[in-house]
A and B are shown apart, each in its own frame.
Chain A
């Protein structure tokens, strides 16, 4: 943070690229649009993407990963192994991890990479993180440049510790005011995607700022950054502050250098919204940008409610869902599936009585997995079925049959919907909780 800006003021994204280029001996900061190859600080893959990367790694004749301390392989998507084919993919990843002595192999049941890696202090402010999973942008909540890539990119990064990038333009999003009851990070990001569209930030980096973001706890910030990709963004960043520092204290696995944007930095666009009157938002099928306030939906019955995922599977999310469901019953026509984001979240939710409250209400508590979010495993939708989900995508066939439907919302709306059997405002079911946990309510 102590580095004096040379020349023009830089956005946080540009500053991170500039710092990484300095490591390669280049002093001049990059220009947006420029193609650069930079060192990466951390790389990750999962059971869907790593097997392809491992094949590419071997085909190219690479022998060792660039640094086994800076690689994570996470069995997250079709876990516990769905079938024989998946079991073979898991085995391939496990054997590679063993052979390469990779420090951060997370076996089946550990959870979802985007919940685990921040929990474990493996991704840090100021870093460049690449992950063969589109929701890698989640880590931007810590003030790093974290971006989703494909398997070939991962293979290249594993082999060399570098990757090519087109330095993105930066769009600054400013949220004025404090969020009301039942409104959290999920509503902010759904609202934003509704405003700018599913390609509104294509190739660009988003930087989130303003009072609503400053007030937000880290767990909410991860939710916010997580869905940057749903606006097409390459990354979604939040400047590190005392909340970031508190989160990382005793957790960070490496030394790091937090960076902040320079005053007067050049943004491609700056968008500002007053959000104190924002209502809970719902994305209707079949695009995350098809967003409306929950009160404008009318009668929409559902067959399934899913609570979890890398977007809303953290402790504060489950806490929020439990605060609505406690002492009530899931509607008899609804299946309510809860997926804690990680094994740690599961254990903490157990200790806090959250799991008990959810199970007593009739929810099914599953092992941590990405499964249902992508229609892969454990909760696939049948033809003509409709789900309300705290996940991140509602494309055609996303959660199962091509003629099924997905609505996206926050965990409180999901819990209220599970009780009512139709999409409902949480206020219909419960009194607003007092401030606690991660998301502001």
Chain B
């Protein structure tokens, strides 16, 4: 997978919670495509039908607060969103996104500056966000190597599958009980 992503921004505010990302009425399914059809439904009913795969969600502070439902990052990932950029993430959403391999970047500067419709180019490895519309570049907080490795492997369970099949590759001292 190339780490250079390009698409348009969809900008939202602070505290985008998991109830508006995927309302509970749609939680009776585990089908990513069905979840994707309702992505952000209670915040921006036009998003699911108007965005293009490869676009970015850009938001303010505490993105993904509330429930632990993994259906939220799953819906975003299945909707084809390339990366979520926010000033900060609520911690369960942060874990879930990493664990399922949805790229996320924390950048208060990018979050302030970017507006809906801006054309962005994102280098995940470098943590660099280029706003082609405004001719500006923002730095994202780099993810720790351990977490980058989970995302690069395609998620926590891919890492586990590798471990179970005998090919060990943990960068951390393994703490087996």
Contacts and interface: CB of A to CB of B under 8 A. Distances in A.
Contact of B160 (A23, A136, A156, A376): A156
Interface string A127-163: 0000011101000000000001111110110011110
Contact of B71 (A25, A52, A395): A52
Nearest to B175: A24
Interface string A60-86: 111000000000000001100011011
Interface in B70-92: 70-71, 73-74, 88, 90-92
A202 B25 contact: no
Contacts of A83: 28
Interface stretch (A33-41, A96-104, A247-255, A275-283): A33-41
A40 B95 CA distance: 17
A85 B95 CA distance: 27
Given A52-B71, A148-B68, A397-B23, A82 B28 contact: yes
A38 B177 CA distance: 8
Interface in B4-40: 15, 17, 19-20, 23-25, 27-30
B15 A152 contact: no
Interface stretch (B48-56, B59-67, B120-128, B129-137): B59-67
Contact of A48 (B15, B69, B158, B164): B69
A61 B163 CA distance: 10
A57 B28 CA distance: 19
Contact of A402 (B42, B62, B165): B42
Interface string B109-128: 00000000000000000000
Contacts of A55: 30
B156 A374 contact: no
A36 B171 CA distance: 11
Interface string B93-108: 0011001100000000
A89 B95 CA distance: 24
A59 B157 contact: yes
B25 A152 contact: no
A441 B73 CA distance: 41
Nearest to A66: B177
B146 A35 contact: yes
Interface in A73-125: 77-78, 82-83, 85-86, 89
A202 B63 CA distance: 11
A49 B71 CA distance: 9
A150 B22 CA distance: 14
Nearest to B73: A150
B147 to A, nearest CB: 7
A359 interface: no
B90 A155 contact: no
A61 B174 contact: no
A395 B161 contact: no
A60 B42 contact: no
Contacts of A25: 175
A51 B30 CA distance: 8
B69 A393 contact: no
Interface in A12-54: 21, 23-26, 35-39, 48-49, 51-52
B91 A234 contact: yes
Contacts of B19: 374-375, 393, 395-398
B78 to A, nearest CB: 13
A61 B161 contact: yes
Contacts of B100: 150, 152
A49 B161 contact: no
11 contacts: A24-B176, A26-B173, A35-B146, A35-B147, A48-B71, A49-B68, A60-B161, A132-B70, A150-B92, A374-B19, A396-B43
Given A156-B160, A161-B177, A402-B20, 18 more contacts: A24-B175, A37-B172, A48-B71, A51-B30, A77-B27, A85-B29, A150-B96, A156-B157, A198-B65, A202-B91, A203-B91, A232-B91, A287-B15, A375-B24, A395-B19, A396-B17, A396-B19, A397-B23
